[in-house]
Amino acid sequence: MQSNDYSKFRSESRLEPMNPKGVMYVVPSGSRNVLARSLELKHQGAESLIRIRYMKRRKIDAIAGIITDKDTPSLSHSRIVMNAAEIGIGAEIIDRSKKVRGKIKNRFVSTMASIFATIPVYRSNECDVIVDGHKKFSVNMTMAIVSNGRFLGGGFKAAPRAKFSDGLLDIIILTNSGSFKMVDKLIELKGTSTYKFEGDILYYQSPEVAFFPKERNVTVSVDGESIGMLPAIFKNYHNALTIKSESTSTRI
């Protein structure tokens, strides 16, 4: 699908509430808890369950994504994105890590093996990007992040301006990054709360964004699961979800 098919693609990304009165409880568990970290939740597992009666209701945004099927490009997947979608090298690392983990039952080892196997050979891809339905530009994209929360897996504070109820997607695009330059940028994401804004890092906030590749397939992952490829479109639905959870902050 080309960027001139944008209107048709956009019409498929509508999100309709099934139960407007429904409430989602957020009970964190597991080792990484990226969503919980982005939501600034205080407790996990059994302790969180014990405190359910004291949890407060709050509204957060939801992201609707339409992502092209990897095996059948004429098909697409409709997905709700809670925390973040990754596009390009980040999604490739996630995809490869899942495959490695099928043989090596160690998350750290599989992730590091995938990083070292992917970064040296990954090439940036020329893509058309459409922000907010009208701002169109082309970019040699290495990685893109479409985020609702601030954190990605591994503790990367990828979207320092993100808030869960501001009605906006945080869109970060890394461009023209070779292998060693990419390592520097990943370290920068891990170690700081702000970017050194240079020409190769683009940061937008918008209710909507679409990506259309000009060259080869570009992998897309949603909340840590590799699910398809570009073209893809993401739209923010302001305060579409009601959740009950504890939080350490009112920043959400």
pLDDT in tens, 3-25: 656 776 666 656 677 777 888 88
Fold (topology level) of 3-90+123-245: Tumour Suppressor Smad4 (2.60.200)
pLDDT in tens, 176-205: 876 556 666 655 655 455 555 556 788 999
Share the mean pLDDT of the chain: 81
Please tell me the distance from the alpha carbon of residue 168 to that of residue 164, in angstroms, as a whole number: 8
Nearest Cα neighbor of 182 from 241, 236, 231, 120 is 120
The domain ranges of the chain are 3-90+123-245
The partner residues of 67 in beta bridges, in order of sequence, read 77, 232
The partner residues of 77 in beta bridges, in order of sequence, read 67
| Site of tokens 């590749």 | 213
For residue 54, count other CB atoms closer than 10 A to its CB.
8
pLDDT in tens, 74-115: 888 889 999 999 999 888 777 777 776 677 766 666 666 766
Rg (CA), the chain: 18
pLDDT in tens, 199-252: 678 899 999 999 999 988 899 999 988 899 999 999 999 999 998 876 655 566
pTM of the model: 0.84
19 Cβ contact partners less than 8 Å away, ≥ 6 residues apart: none
Instruction: Copy the structure tokens of residue 106.
Output: 């160690």
Q: Which pLDDT score is estimated for 140?
A: 92
